[in-house]
Structure formats: structure tokens, C-alpha cells
Structure 1
Amino acid sequence: MARREVLVQLDDDLVGQLDQIADAIGTSRSDLLRRGARAVIEADSLRSADEELVAAYRRYPLDPDLVRSAERLAAHTLPEW
């Protein structure tokens, strides 16, 4: 995959912390920042999916009788811990 150089300004303390983590896991600062960017994108995707799920339940709320039936069934079928 092609890469593009991007200038990011960070304070010395943040750079130092990133370098410590990169050294500890045996990678480069750039790789660590790429991983961080991917984590932010994934977190945003999960947030978006959660919002869509909440909106769906608002449009079509669960039938209270169905919820009670599921609770009763779960109470009789779940293993004892």
C-alpha cells in the first residue's frame, strides 16, 4: 500500500512517551502512530455502529412480552456459575 508522509507536530513529552512504548514493543514511532490512527478509525466505526443499533431500537422497540419470555427462558437454560 502506498504511503504518504504527513507532518504532525507533537510536544517533546508526547514524543518521549511514544518512543518508550515503541522501544518496549520493538517497533518504530511511525508504526506506532499508524497503529494508533487505525485504532482511532476502528473506534469511530464501532461508535457509528452502536449509534445505528440504538437508532434501530428506537424505531422498532422490543416487544415487552418477547423480552419477558426471553428472560424466563434464559433463567431456565443458563448454566449455574
Structure 2
Amino acid sequence: MAATKPSGTIWPVSRTQTLVQLNEDLLRQLDERAAKEGRSRSSLIRDAIDAYLFDEDKARIDREIVEGYERIPETDEEMESVEASAREAVEEEPW
């Protein structure tokens, strides 16, 4: 990835190189996917790591939301209000 200065000059973003050991089958699959998508191995691996970390963060946030509702559940009054709002929203739809 590169950073672009306002003048249009492109400056490379600093990266750290790391060694990752892969078995032959995983390397073959990686190379096939990279070739199919016209990308480098590194690009594919970076995107896979980004997706993995994003999914982990999303799952953590979901767990924290559930834990919050378990600690402080909605009241019957709150649920009635939510249901009434949902009914109103559906009734307002033109279909």
C-alpha cells in the first residue's frame, strides 16, 4: 500500500518483513489463488490476516454486547416499546 502526498508523489508505506512457514499444500493453494486473482502472495496473506483480525474483533464485540444484555436485561417496558416501534415502521412501508 502506498501513501499519496497532495502533490501526487507516491511514498511507500513502511512494512516489516516476516518469515511464515507453510506446508506444501497450503503454499500451492495460496499460489493458485494469488495467480487467479492476479495478486502477490504477500497481498493475499495481508488481506487474509486483515479479514481474520476483523472477524475476531467483530466476534469479541458481539460477545460483549450479549454479556451486557445478560448483565442488564431489557425490561418488559423496553421490549414493548421496541415492538411498537417495529410495528409502526412496518406499517409506514408502502408495500
Q: TM-score range by the shorter chain?
A: 0.7 to 0.9
Name which structure has the greater RCO, CA cutoff 8 Å, separation 6+: 1
Between 67-76 and 22-31, report the one with greater CA deviation. 67-76
Cα distance between partner residues in 2 of 1:4 and 1:73: 51
Higher radius of gyration, 1 or 2: 2
Q: Give the counterpart letter for 1:34 in structure 2.
A: R
Give runs of aligned pairs for residues 1-81 of structure 1, distance below 5 A. 1-78=13-90, 79=93
Q: Secondary structure at the match of 2:80?
A: helix
TM-score (norm 2): 0.72
Unaligned runs of 5+ in 2: 1-12
Q: Secondary structure at the match of 1:41?
A: helix
Which consecutive aligned stretches of 4+ in structure 1 deviate over 6 angstroms post-superposition? none
Tell me the CA shift for residue 49 of structure 1.
Answer: 0.9
Cα distance between partner residues in 2 of 1:68 and 1:80: 24
More strand by share: 2
More helix by share: 1
Tell me the CA shift for residue 60 of structure 1.
Answer: 1.6
Between 5-14 and 51-60, report the one with greater CA deviation. 51-60
Unaligned runs of 5+ in 1: none
Could you tell me the percent identity over the aligned residues?
A: 35
Q: Deviations over 1:39-72 (max 9, x none)?
A: 1111111111112211211222111232134224
